[in-house]
Amino acid sequence: MPTLFERIIAREIPAKIEHENEHCIVIHDIEPQAPVHLLIIPKVVIPRVGEAKPDQDVILGNLLLAAGVVAKKLNLERGFRLVINNGPDACETVPHLHVHLLAKRQLGWPPG
């Protein structure tokens, strides 16, 4: 059964798309935890970062590059945070790797 993100990539489920390229799609989170909360999702299903394969390095690198492109586009020069959840103890809810980009509010440290 396709994940929620696969269905969004296939345009079966609508999403507010901020950016897209051959490797990933960037959408606005429907339950934002900050004024800017985007999800950077690879188009290839990688269940979680801990299961990524060495030959997926270009895809993984593209996720970080896409974060920089979107941050520049949205004028996030004061800063942003990238978060990747890996597994149920890290609050992973969709078994399809994705990077959260959070910005436009002070984010605490340590996180969690």
Residues 6+ apart with CB under 8 A from 96: 3, 4, 5, 6, 41, 42, 45, 46, 47
CA-wise closest residue to 7 among 32, 51, 41, 30? 41
Which of 23, 37, 96, 98 is catalytic? The answer is 98
Q: How many CA atoms lie within 13 A of 49 on its CB side?
A: 16
Active site residue 23: no
User: What Cα–Cα distance (Å) separates residue 4 from each residue in 22, 71, 99?
Assistant: 19, 24, 15
What's the one-letter identity of residue 36? V
Q: List residues with catalytic annotation.
A: 98
